[in-house]
Amino acid sequence: MLDIPIGPYAYLLGQYLGDGCISIQVRGNPKLRIATCDDYPAIREECIAAIRAVAPSSGVSVIQGEGSSEVAAASVHWPCLFPQHGPGRKHLRPIVLESWQRRFALEIRPDRFVRGLVHSDGCRLLNRVRAHGREYAYVRYFFDNESDDIRNLFIEGCQRLGVEARHSKPTSVSVARRESVAILERVVGPKT
């Protein structure tokens, strides 16, 4: 475990928790699969680079879908690297990080972890407000996930970065304060 590159792993963990899964192939080999939106090719490339860094002996394939592509790689190590793997949807089962994962993703590289989460289940938008006869706009971030555990990991990652994040809806977390948005602008920036 300690030989894996921490930054790429923290990013890939965020991607996995948001839009990833591990499936067992016909021959019994685990395959990591991450859904990526075709509108953001740079995010797909970053995901591919993270997989190659974490599992350099695994071949990475991209399976084109309608509007999205699946980035996939087989490796016997995926269940060890992502012990959150299990049957059923992530929001219907507990998602708890192992102590080494917490150290990598929340203590050492919360920036990469939060970036992976936002790239999978987050967005950056321009919020337009009209008040007192004036109109103004500001950048805001949202993170949407049905899993309470994953949303709380996002909030904890943000706190480690000095970012104030709070629930705006039952399954949505918002980052709107100017200072917090400025930090996420450096860590995440616009999706491309």
- 112: in domain: no
Q: Cβ distance 183 to 191 under 8 Å? A: no
- Same structural domain for residues 80 and 131? no
**Domain residue limits at 70:** 6-96
Strand ranges, E, within 28-164: 30-37, 60-64, 68-74, 122-131, 134-144
pLDDT digits (tens, 9 = 90+) for 30-61: 999 999 999 999 999 999 999 999 999 999 99
How many residues make up the chain in this entry? 192
* End-to-end CA, the chain: 31
Token representation of residue 97:
């990080």
pLDDT at site 1: 47
- 30: in domain: yes
- 113: in domain: no
End position of a domain, from candidates 62, 96, 130: 96
Q: Cβ distance 51 to 58 under 8 Å? A: yes
Q: Considering the chain, what is the average pLDDT of its residues?
A: 94
Above pLDDT 90, what percent of the chain? 83
End position of a domain, from candidates 61, 96, 131: 96
- 110: in domain: no
Phi, psi of 189 (to 5 degrees): 70, -170
- Same structural domain for residues 128 and 86? no
Looking up residue 37, the CATH number of its domain turns out to be 3.10.28.10
End position of a domain, from candidates 41, 61, 96: 96
- Kindly list the distances between the CA atom of residue 23 and the CA atoms of 20, 71, 95, 153, 165, in Å, as whole numbers in the listed order: 10, 13, 17, 23, 32
C-alpha–C-alpha distance, residues 139 and 129, integer Å: 11
Contacts of 81 (CB under 8 A, 6+ apart): 1, 4, 9, 54, 55
pLDDT digits (tens, 9 = 90+) for 160-174: 999 999 999 999 999
**Count of structural domains within the chain:** 2
- Same structural domain for residues 22 and 88? yes
- 104: in domain: no
Of 10-24, 40-54, 64-78, 82-96, the poorest mean pLDDT is in: 82-96
- 45: in domain: yes
pTM score, whole prediction:
0.94
- 33: in domain: yes
- 109: in domain: no
C-alpha–C-alpha distance, residues 121 and 133, integer Å: 34
> Angle at CA 65, nearest 5°, toward 147 and 15?
35
